[in-house]
Homo-oligomer: A and B are copies of this chain.
Amino acid sequence: MRMSEGVEWALHSCLNLTWVEPGEARTAARLAAFYDLPAAYLNKQLQALARAGIVTSTPGPRGGFRLARPPERITVLDVVTAIEGPGDAFRCSGLLRNGPEGRDDVDYARSCHVSQTMRRAELAWRRELAGQTLADLRDDVERSHPGTPARTREWFARQRP
């Protein structure tokens, strides 16, 4: 069970978009250069975020990506779900249906105790991620490294010409 590396990229990129000037946008190429990542592949992840309605994209010169809504209303779970898809990590295949006691009219994903335990665990995981917004993350970073927003903006401004 390995989570896609795109999740990490997406989270850091969204956090980065938190510090973009209002009305501005950041291109996938610049965001990739900031972390030294393959630009085309990061673009793919940003597309997934756009499809999920987390960021908006504008093509053409001076285009790029920006957050679709204020960081207070974007949870870490939103970003993770956008990249990894909505499906659970553990998926009950209905083993018991093929067993000697199996019934066709039972939804084993609901009634099977193994499945219930796994779902309860994933629910706890999800609850933790849903309780953390992009704004919380941003505030944590700004508290630990106060100069980061200004230095980041400056870095992107320097890349422009």
Which A residues fall within an 8 A CB radius of B? 1-5, 7-9, 11-12, 15, 34-37, 76, 84, 87, 89-93, 95-96, 98-101, 113-114, 117-118, 120-122, 124-129, 132, 137, 140-141, 144-145, 148, 151, 155
Please give, as numbers and ranges, the residues of chain B lying within 8 Å of A129 by CB-CB distance.
117-118, 121
Chain B residues with Cβ below 8 Å from A128 are 117, 120-121, 124
Q: For A15, A95, A151, which residue has the most chain B Cβ atoms within 10 angstroms?
A: A95
Whether B121 lies near A122 (C-beta < 8 A) is: no
B124/A12 in contact, CB under 8 A:
no
How far does the alpha carbon of A125 sit from the alpha carbon of B92 in the complex, in Å? Answer: 17
Cα A96 to Cα B11 in complex, Å, equals: 12
Verify A117–B132 contact, CB threshold 8 A.
Answer: yes
20 A-B residue pairs with CB within 8 Å? A1-B3, A1-B89, A2-B89, A3-B91, A7-B90, A8-B95, A8-B114, A12-B95, A35-B98, A36-B98, A36-B99, A76-B117, A76-B118, A100-B151, A101-B151, A113-B141, A120-B128, A121-B128, A121-B129, A124-B125
Which residues of the partner chain B approach A96 to less than 8 Å between Cβ atoms?
12, 35
Most buried by B among A36, A37, A151, A155: A36
- Could you say which residues of chain B place their CB within 8 Å of the CB of A1? 1-4, 84, 89
Contacts of A148 in B (CB 8 A): 101
User: Cβ of B15 and Cβ of A114 under 8 Å apart?
Assistant: yes
